[in-house]
A and B are shown apart, each in its own frame.
Chain A
Amino acid sequence: MDYSLVVAIELVREVAGLILIATGLAVIFGMMRVINIAHGEFMMLGGYTVVLTTKMGVNIWVAILILAPLAVGIFGVIVERCIIRHLYGRIIDSLLATWGLSLFLIGFVTVVFGNTVEGVSNPFGGFAVGQYKVAGYTFFLIFAAVAFIASVYLTLKYTKAGLIARATMQNSDMVEALGVNSKHVYMATFGIGAAFAGLAGGLLAPISGVVPGMGALLIGKAFITVVTGGAAVVAGTLSASTILGSISQAVTFATNPVYGDAALLFVALILLRLLPQGITGRIFTRSI
């Protein structure tokens, strides 16, 4: 009984993990049709921001929740201005350019900070579930994932900025004609996507090590989740994370992580075969 509860918690945690790493990418992909391969490195930068600022004595919550998204968000805006804006409508080129950026960032961080930076401690203790112990941080991550999804949903649905963003997504020429500068919309969107990545990196820093190559371990899953989800940011991320995360984690429990990962990929493959535009290309098409 306790064990099945633990398994259930871990399933939800995996789903939450996918939501965390995929949201930033989904915002950028859904709004701008740009696949940001450097997304993993944006998360890495978030992790480094947390590590470096806490070392300077900043409170860990301030570092994770404010500084990491802020720093990476600003960096995202700079990247958009220098690179991405030249590549709108060229999905493959933008993919290759951001891949170059990702290599550059890994190399740059290695040179500047070295490969060994001391990690941050985890602010929560363990949490007893019957005779088992689960990390308190697990619950915090689940809560953060819910907050991610809720904030994107509420922003898109109920704010003026969200309205403009949704309209730009559907027809940028029309929005432009109505007097909105779509360049600014794209810039802001990319910055927000990057900020989500930074926040995710900051959130993951206490439980994974912070090393220059950490992004490469996360980007694959994030990418597949986003594409499987399709264009709608909220419904797509939520549905894809739920399906992929719970199946892969269940398989991991039953066998081992290799088959868990393989199951995730296999399910994504089947879903894409059945729904070639991603889940929200066919189902929940009216959702955001």
Chain B
Amino acid sequence: MTRDISRRSMLKGAAAVGAAGALPMLPFAAEAADEILVGGLHDLSGFLDFAGIPMNRIMLMAIEEINAKGGLLGKKVRGVVYDPQSNMSMYSQFATQLALKDKATVVMGGITSASRETIRPIFHRFKTLYFYNTLYEGGVCDRNEISLGTTPAQTVEKLVPYTMGLWGKKVYTIAADYNYGQITAAWVKRYVEQNGGEVVSTDFFPLDVTNFGPTISKIQSAKPDMVMSVLVGSGHLGFYNQWAAAGMKNEIPIASTTFGAGGAEIEIIKPEVANGIISCYGYYPTVDTPENKAWVQQVKKRYPEKTPLLTELSAFTWEGMMIWADAVRSAGSMDRMKLLEVMESGKTYTMPSGKVSIDPKTHHAIRDVYIADLKDKQFVIKKKFSQVQPADTQLVCDLEKTPNANKHYEISLE
């Protein structure tokens, strides 16, 4: 399998061979020896900028923080930020640039799974350490990537029984029509059935759908006990307004695997519409620990105006930077393999989101997750689950056995 992948590898893969073999004498741009470069690839414009801009600002804040503490190995850390403009070609372009031209030592970024699958193979081939800090559908198996976001086995698995216990066993799923939505909807169905419930229907919507009138009528005629929303993006925000406009808000409750994940939703949608939506993520700004309170204060101090929205995405970007910096300090080196070995050692980090460690088998985070009820733009945490494993990815991936794996598995639910 790996053989097959490498044969079909990225064009840039062939480029690496070229660089190593055919063009050994070409001088690459000399890097400043007293700086360590950290690449940032987040959508700063385009339809995902509401998520990308906070991630980027938090990344820069983390760099400042590391430098304020004296840098790493006696060197300053510098962020190299590109804006891929929510465009996959740009992602591929800038990833190549970060790996080959800037020679970044680590890259944070990628938001959608599509963008991750565009850049992950590039960093894999060019041996550039890569952190993906977004919640996603699970299944990446690549030793070069550290995935800090939560996966369905960590969140959906908790959210479904909790909300079914509150509201009842008939679930109607509405999901975004792409990879994440399809896979997450399949997980929802599995967990609902495991808990003795029934998914009465699953509807998929392209990302540009804005009018949900027919769906709202269909949901009413199906009479579920709850709606599970896996909707994504600004177009889909219309659903919540139209749902409330039809007076359904107090009739059928909503749980969501996405609402509030990027943060913008809770600002754009009025509290009287959004209140009562139950979600489950690995981080909420209301997590009640001294570490988190200090961190929230730190962000507010650094960005007193237009404070970035604190969500799983931005919090985990900061965690990624800190875990990386810790690995550099422990290893005393910038060598990628040494850093990976430190992170694989099963170290537990105390972070704003709680206790985090890297699962050596999957390079996904083992972390605390929370269930929260939204009330007036505040997530009221209802329940905490400690040290939840990325059990979905663990089904398909064991990097200790296959350290050269380089694949995104679609986890089969059969």
Q: Do chains A and B touch in the complex (CB under 8 A)?
A: yes
Contacts of A124 in B (CB 8 A): 245
Assess the B247–A115 pair: CB atoms within 8 A.
Answer: no
Partner of A256, one of B203, B242, B248: B203
Assess the B217–A3 pair: CB atoms within 8 A.
Answer: yes
Interface residues in B194-234 (C-beta closer than 8 Å to A): 203-206, 208-211, 213-215, 217-218, 220-221, 234
**Residue count of chain B within 8 Å CB distance of chain A:** 43
B264 adjacent to chain A (CB < 8 Å)? yes
Closest to B46 in A: A213
Interface residues in A218-234 (C-beta closer than 8 Å to B): 218
Assess the B205–A257 pair: CB atoms within 8 A.
Answer: yes
Determine the interface band of chain A, counting residues with CB < 8 A from chain B.
35 or more
Assess the B246–A209 pair: CB atoms within 8 A.
Answer: no
Closest to A258 in B: B206
Contacts of B49 in A (CB 8 A): 110, 115
Closest to A252 in B: B214
- Bound state CA distance, A184 and B270, in angstroms? 42
Contacts of A261 in B (CB 8 A): 206, 209
A159 adjacent to chain B (CB < 8 Å)? no
Assess the A120–B270 pair: CB atoms within 8 A.
Answer: yes
B341 adjacent to chain A (CB < 8 Å)? no
Contacts of B269 in A (CB 8 A): 119, 209
Contacts of A136 in B (CB 8 A): 245
- Bound state CA distance, A151 and B376, in angstroms? 41
Contacts of A133 in B (CB 8 A): 220, 246-248, 251
Determine chain A's interface SS by DSSP, over half rule: mixed
Assess the A132–B217 pair: CB atoms within 8 A.
Answer: yes
Partner of A208, one of B241, B246, B267, B272: B241
A10 adjacent to chain B (CB < 8 Å)? yes
A89 adjacent to chain B (CB < 8 Å)? no
Assess the B217–A10 pair: CB atoms within 8 A.
Answer: yes
Given known contacts A17-B211, A119-B268, A119-B269, is B246 in contact with A135 (CB within 8 Å)?
A: yes
Assess the A207–B242 pair: CB atoms within 8 A.
Answer: yes
- Closest chain B CB from A9 CB (angstroms): 8
What 1/0 flags go to A1-37 for Cβ under 8 Å of B? 0010011001001100100000000000000000000
Assess the A114–B306 pair: CB atoms within 8 A.
Answer: yes
A100 adjacent to chain B (CB < 8 Å)? no
Assess the B213–A14 pair: CB atoms within 8 A.
Answer: yes
What 1/0 flags go to A245-278 for Cβ under 8 Å of B? 0000100110011101100000000000000000
On A, residues with C-beta under 8 Å from B are 3, 6-7, 10, 13-14, 17, 107, 110, 114-122, 124-127, 131-138, 206-211, 213-214, 217-218, 249, 252-253, 256-258, 260-261
Contacts A133-B251, A136-B245 known; list 8 others, CB within 8 Å. A6-B217, A116-B267, A118-B268, A120-B270, A209-B241, A217-B210, A252-B214, A253-B214
Q: Would you give 11 A-B contacts (Cβ < 8 Å), ordered by A?
A: A3-B221, A6-B217, A7-B214, A110-B49, A116-B50, A121-B272, A122-B245, A126-B246, A208-B210, A210-B268, A217-B208
